[in-house]
Structure formats: C-alpha cells, structure tokens
Amino acid sequence: PLLMVKPKILVVGSINYDTIYQDVLEEGVNDNGIVYKHYTTANGGKGANQARALALMGAYSYMAGCVGNDDYGHSQIAGLKEAGVNTDYIRVDDCLQTGQSVMLMRKNGTYIGANVLGANSAVLPALVENALQNEQFDMVVMQLEMPLDTVYHTYEIAAKKNIPVILDPGPPKSISLDRLKGIYIISPNEDETEGLTGIHIHNESDALAAAKRLLQKSNAEYVILKLGSRGAYYYDGQLGKLYLPYPVNAVDSTAAGDSFTAELAISLASGRPMDEAIQRANAAGAICVSRYGGQLSVPSSDEVNRFLSKNR
C-alpha cells in the first residue's frame, strides 16, 4: 500500500552553473566548428537537479553540497530554496568557484558535456556526516560529481543507519563498486554503464550482461539502467526486464536522468511498488527530455500524474 507520508530524502552531490548550446545550425567537422543557434544558462549540477526535482515531486528534500561565494553560488541556493529544498547543508566556500558545466546539444537531444568541479571538490565526508547525524532521512541519493571518498563514506554511514542509498553514477567513470557492497540501487545511463562495466549496450542481452556485472561487483539489491530513448532496464539478480520508453520529441536531455532518479527515489520511499516506480521514473525522464532548460525542465509529481493518465 502507498504510504501517504512525505519522505525525507538527502541528496549528496554537485551544484553547477550550466551553459547549454542548443539547436545545431551547422554540423562542423569532427565535432569541430559546430555552429549553434542559441544558448541558455541555468542552475544545474546532478545533485541540485535531483534535489529540486524531489522537492517538486513532494519530498522533504535536503541537499548536502558546496558552492563558491560568487553570484552563481548565491543564485543556486536561492533557486533551491524557492523550490522548497532545505539548504542548511550547502556550504559556501570562500576560496573555490561554483562548479560549472557546458553542454553541447546534439540534434537528437543527447550532449557532449564538460565540467569545472570547483566547489564540488569540497563536498567532503564531514559535511554529509553532519547532515546524517542531525536529521533522520528515509533515503539518500548521490552521484559522482564530488570526491569519491565522500561517495564511499556517505554509503558507509547511511548503511550503518539502515538508510537505503540510490547511486546515480554520473558522470561516467570507473569506481570501486566493492566499496558500495549491498547498496539499494545503482542506476547508470548507457555511458556510465560502459564506464563501470566496459560493456557497450547495443541490445537487451548486453543490458542484461552489464546489469549482471554491476550487481556482482556491488551486490546491489537492484540495478536499473537508464537507456534513454530505449527505456529502462531492471535487474534484481533473477529477473531482467526492459521498460519501454514513452514516445516524446526529445529536444534536451539535460537533467532527464536526474528527473528519472528523483522520481524513482520518491516513489520507492513513498512505498510504491518497483514496477510502478520505474514507470513513473520513465515518465519523469520523458517529460524532462521533451523540453528545454536543464534544471528548470524537471517535472512536478502533478505533471508526472497527468502525463501518465494521458499515456497509459
């Protein structure tokens, strides 16, 4: 049964100022000389996107992160507060710059991204420890745009407190999955899956092979692969299942994975069954990808509900 409680979820992760180049006018040669029609700037960072999405989706959303003492950092904190995110555990660092990310959109809505880590390098274990000591959380969600020590440490403290942890292992990199033994969910996209397993996903059997490898290495309860326009792939150690995507016109995939992860987290933390949680997460990703604007395009739970009633 769905618990109508409002779950309290801690997001540990990155806060970036995003610049997104949109609408390719001329293709260029070898990724060189591409000409775009326009760009947008937005608050971003995988952590902040997920924290904002969780607040819009109805969670008590808390964020542990770090920004620089600059205009970008101040505007990020203001934006998160306005969305209803608790920012008590966001530190303002006087020496570091707020993280930045530049994304070059391809015609199909996927992108090439480059990041400045900046103040995200100061998201240190002590900050997370403080949040986890002071508050009682129902779930922790984290990504990889911060020191890996913090990722491992966050998992250790949360595991001791029996708090389920979802890892969205972006951006793509190879990490020690054996430091996350027994984690609740690992949910990478295609590139991140390749970074963690070496397997490039061409088809469903590749997805199963990659999911098996991830599960073996981490002993996770569940692996949920975000396959973009091919949907999502679930694996629990026995059953593998492909969830088809909702058909939408993909224009900008920025924060689509973050919307997926946030909806997955709040659905499961609210007691929804896994099957429904994945369908809702797929819908949240689909809505986000169909509109421009990174963090501002993450959907609320009302939007997810409306979308699902139209797209049964």
Binding positions for ligand RIB, rule: CB under 6 A: 14, 16, 18, 44-46, 49, 101, 113, 115, 145, 254-255, 257-258, 294
Active site amino acids:
258
Which CB sits closer to ligand RIB, 13 or 240?
A: 13
Nearer to ligand RIB, 104 or 157 (CB): 104
Work out how close the CB of 221 gets to ligand RIB at its nearest, in angstroms, rounded to a whole number.
24
Given the complex with ligand RIB, which of 68 and 240 has the nearer CB atom? 68
d(CA 196, CA 217): 10
Q: Report the residue number, 86 or 101, with the smaller CB distance to ligand RIB.
A: 101
Residue whose Cβ sits closest to ligand RIB: 44
Q: Is the distance from CB of 272 to CB of 280 less than 8 angstroms?
A: yes
The minimum distance between CB 16 and ligand RIB, in angstroms, equals 3
Smallest gap from residue 266 Cβ to ligand RIB (A): 17
H, E, C per residue of the chain: CCCCCCCEEEEECCCEEEEEEEEEEECCECCECCEEEEEEEEEECHHHHHHHHHHHCCCEEEEEEEEECCHHHHHHHHHHHHHCCEEEEEEEECCCCCEEEEEEECCCCCEEEEEECHHHHHCCHHHHHHHHHHCCCCEEEECCCCCHHHHHHHHHHHHHCCCCEEECCCCCCCCCHHHHCCCCEECCEHHHHHHHHCCCCCCHHHHHHHHHHHHHHHCCCEEEEECHHHCEEEECCCCEEEECCCCCCCCCCCCHHHHHHHHHHHHHHCCCCHHHHHHHHHHHHHHHHCCCCHHHHCCCHHHHHHHHHHCC
Closest CA to 192 of 222, 223, 221: 223
From the CB of residue 68, how many other CB atoms can be counted at a distance below 10 Å?
24
Q: Residue 194 CB, nearest distance to ligand RIB (Å)?
A: 17
Nearer to ligand RIB, 146 or 223 (CB): 146
Q: Which is nearer to ligand RIB, 189 or 270 (CB)?
A: 189
Q: How far is CA 265 from CA 10, 18, 31, 107, 114, in A?
A: 10, 24, 36, 30, 27
CA–CA dist 115, 12 (Å, integer)? 18
Nearer to ligand RIB, 256 or 277 (CB): 256
